[in-house]
Amino acid sequence: MITSRQKEFLSEILEGKPIPEDKLVYFRERLRDRLHSAILAAFQQRAKTGFKQSDLAERIHKKRAQITRWFSTTSNLTLDSISDLMVGLGMDFDEFPFTPIEKTLAPKDRQVKGRKAA
Amino acid sequence: MLIEEDEIKRLCDQGRLFRVEPLAWRETQERAIYVSRDIYRFLTQPSADPAANGDRRKLHRLFDRFISGQEISAAFKRNIKGSNIKRLSPPNAEVWEFKVKARPQLRVFGRFAAKDLFLAITGPVDRANCDFQAEKIRCQYEWSKLLPEHSPIHGSTIDDYISAKGISL
């Protein structure tokens, strides 16, 4: 359920108006968070088979300390480092689905049903 | 003494604590953050300074990341740079900082009232001008005014503070 504060936060986006810079900042951070979480989840999956940060570092020609820095916080991630980490972990995008933001406002169960129906 | 939910609610009713409502509408709420009036103002009131507005969104995003149950990196036993949160020394003071890695690097200070429940009570301050010793004392003092009969939780691993996805560095 989307709250009134969240609706207000999204107002310019939904109304097609210019989006204030501070909101763009929030969404940049959010995207970094999402990619960071996906990379950490992939690493944790690989780690179950004995794959270590040092193995990943070696695969992508980085020092282990650099991998630790990238894993510890989102702030140092760039498109290049995200790509290197993904490839090093053997990950790729199956597809690249951008969803219109309006469709994400519905409760999750409805979103899933809608996707299945499509 | 364990902090009861009613105690937090009472402080919210008195306008001394505010629950952070996530801006991220698609994320679940696995953890909770309550903040002081000053931090709440910083989060919710637009500033005339565009840079300060960006900073408040970055701090809000860090809070949202915590609330939604995503991975949180914690400098817990070693003094490591680049984590999301850090337990300041000495450990038994139980003062933690939430870190926004931007320029300025903002810091807010607080304590875990329970597992997955953080009270951010002082800050935000610019790391460059921050007297950490003074902030730590201020945080403990503000806590004692808010919750005089309660202590923050004390743990020996990050799992004692955050359930799942706490990454100890």
Probe site for chain A from B26, B67, B100, B105 (most A CB atoms < 10 A):
B26
Q: Which chain B residue lies closest to A75 (C-alpha atoms)?
A: B101
Residues in chain A with CB shorter than 8 Å from the CB of B54 are 21-22, 25
Q: Please report residues of B whose CB lies closer than 8 A to that of A6.
A: 21-25
Q: Where are the alpha helices (DSSP H) in chain B?
A: 5-13, 37-44, 50-67, 132-146
Helix, strand, or coil here: B99? Answer: strand
Residue located via tokens 């986006």: A13
- Does the distance separating the beta carbons of B71 and A37 come in below 8 Å? yes
Highest mean pLDDT among A73-82, B58-67, B159-168 belongs to B58-67
Domain ranges of chain A: 4-117
Nearest Cα residue in chain A from B74: A72
User: What's the pLDDT score for residue B1?
Assistant: 58
Query: What is the per-residue pLDDT across A18-56, written as a single tens digit (0 to 9) for each?
Result: 999 999 999 999 999 889 888 988 998 899 899 999 999
Which two tokens mark B27?
């994320």
Q: Mean pLDDT score of chain A, rounded to an integer?
A: 85
Average pLDDT over residues B145-152: 92
Q: Residue B163 belongs to what domain range? A: 5-168
Asked if B26's CB is within 8 angstroms of A6's CB, the reply is no
CA pseudo-torsion sign B91, B95, B98, B103: negative
Q: Say what the pLDDT of residue A64 is.
A: 93
Give the B window 26-45 contacts with A, CB below 8 Å: 26
ipTM > 0.90, yes or no: no
The residues in B 72-111 lying below 8 A from A, measured between CB atoms, are: 73, 80, 82-84, 101-102
Sign of CA dihedral B114, B24, A83, B82: negative
Quote the tokens at residue A6: 């969240």
Question: Per residue in A51-83, pLDDT tens?
Answer: 999 999 999 999 999 998 888 888 778 999 999
Record: contact A75-B65, CB cut-off 8 A:
no
Domains in chain B, number:
1
For the question of whether the overall pTM of this predicted structure is more than 0.80, the answer is yes
